[in-house]
Amino acid sequence: MATSVLIYDGDCGVCTKLSRFVTTGVRRTAGDFAVSAYQDADLDALGLTAEQCDEALQWVSSTGRVSSAQDAVARVLLAGRAPFKPLGAVILVPGINALAGLVYRWVALNRHRLPGGTPACSLPAAQRPS
C-alpha cells in the first residue's frame, strides 16, 4: 500500500462530519493519507472486514498495520498537522489510552444522540437504509 488510509462508517452522520474535519482541518495535504467510508473501500485489499469497520474507526498504515478505535484516532492525529501531533502521542500513552478507549466506546454507542447523528447510527449495518 502506498499511503495510509482512515476508514470510517459512511452511514453515520457523526463519522461523516468528523471525516470531513479530518480532511480539511487535520490533514495537511491529500497526499498525507487517504480518507474513505468503508462502504466505498476495498476492504479485502486493506485487510479489514465490514464488521470491524462497523464497530470502530480503522487506520491502515502504509505498511499495512491496522489500528482501531482510539488508536486509529491517535494515528490520524500523529499523521496530521503539527498542532494535532502531540494529542495523538498523548492518546497512545498507557493509562490515557485506556481512558480514551472508554470515551471512544461511549461516543460510538451514543453517536445517534450526538449533533449530526441520525437514527441510522444506532442500527446495525445490515438494518440501515443504505
**pLDDT tens, 88-117?**
999 999 999 999 999 999 998 888 777 665
125 has a pLDDT exceeding 80? no
Residues 6+ apart with CB under 8 A from 62: 1, 2, 3, 4
Contact 41, 52 (CB under 8 A): no
What is the rounded distance in angstroms from the CA atom of residue 41 to the CA atom of residue 112? 23
Q: How confident is the model at residue 7 (pLDDT cuts 50, 70, 90)?
A: very high
**pLDDT tens, 32-44?**
999 999 999 999 9
Domain boundaries along the sequence of the chain: 5-125
**In the prediction, which pLDDT does 74 show?**
98
Q: What is the pTM of this model?
A: 0.86
25, three cell numbers: 482541518
44, three cell numbers: 479485502
